């Protein structure tokens, strides 16, 4: 057994660690996400609007690795310390997962500005928009394949002791091979205004913190 920032790690059992349990949120980011040099990233175009700033597509070229298409979430200028913490909190969560149906984190840029979160690129974007745009064009086998992928991702999260709390087609991304991946691990959901807040709070307290 290893003690790890006050968390007990059981060999062979991987469990999610809530970044909130870290006194210093920066420590959580650096524990779970790789720092990327901004010079390794080429931004190509804006593909969406995130809660904290633009989402862009681009390329990542790490030394000794081949170039990868990536999505880049940026933190808009003039952010507060809390916004920075919440923004990077998503990376601290995503960086703990390793599954073909969970969006893969490449790393973060925190040492220069703009602050960025770099993930694998999903060519077909969010599932809700994609399905509406291509209504009636998929076979049942294809649709069931998408569902199986989402279910496998959610099963993995559950096995890790993580409760997503916002599973919806808009939070699933789909790539050019029609592989669906769970995304949106934001920490900033407004629980107070949520009619299901009591329920959500109860679920949250059931998260396992080892």
Whose structure tokens read 């599932």?
127
Q: Considering the rule CB under 6 A, would residue 184 count as an interface residue with ligand AMP?
A: yes
DSSP, collapsed to helix, strand or coil, labels residue 25 as helix
Name the residues annotated as catalytic. Answer: 166
Q: Which is nearer to ligand AMP, 21 or 166 (CB)?
A: 166
**Residue 97 buriedness (CB in 10 A; 0-12 / 13-18 / 19+):** buried
What distance in Å separates the CA atoms of residue 41 and residue 69, rounded to the nearest whole number? 10
- Binding to ligand AMP by CB under 6 A, coded x per residue (else -) over 134-173, reads ---------------------------------------x
Q: Binding ligand AMP by CB under 6 A: which of 28, 33, 40, 55?
A: 55
Q: Binding ligand AMP by CB under 6 A: which of 74, 92, 96, 183?
A: 183
Closest by alpha carbon to 164, among 207, 197, 198, 135? 207
- What is the binding site for ligand AMP (CB under 6 A)? 47-48, 50-51, 55, 71, 103, 119, 121-122, 125-126, 173, 183-184
């Amino acid at each position: 057994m290893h003690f790890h920032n006050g968390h007990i790690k059981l060999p062979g059992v991987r469990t999610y660690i809530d970044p909130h349990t870290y006194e210093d949120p920066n420590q959580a980011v650096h524990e779970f996400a790789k720092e990327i040099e901004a010079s390794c990233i080429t931004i190509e175009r804006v593909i969406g609007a995130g809660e904290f700033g633009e989402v862009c597509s681009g390329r990542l070229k790490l030394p000794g690795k081949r170039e990868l298409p990536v999505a880049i979430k940026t933190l808009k200028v003039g952010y507060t310390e809390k916004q920075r913490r919440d923004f990077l909190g998503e990376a601290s969560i995503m960086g703990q997962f390793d599954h073909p149906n969970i969006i893969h984190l490449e790393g973060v840029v925190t040492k220069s500005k703009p602050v960025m979160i770099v993930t694998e690129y999903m060519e077909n974007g969010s599932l809700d928009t994609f399905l509406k745009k291509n209504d009636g064009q998929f076979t049942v086998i294809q649709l069931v394949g998408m569902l199986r992928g989402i279910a496998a991702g959610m099963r993995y999260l559950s096995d890790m002791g993580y409760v997503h709390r916002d599973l919806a087609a808009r939070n699933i991304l789909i790539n050019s091979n029609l592989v669906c991946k769970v995304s949106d691990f934001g920490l900033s959901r407004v629980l107070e205004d949520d009619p299901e807040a009591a329920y959500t709070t109860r679920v949250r307290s059931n998260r396992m913190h080892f």
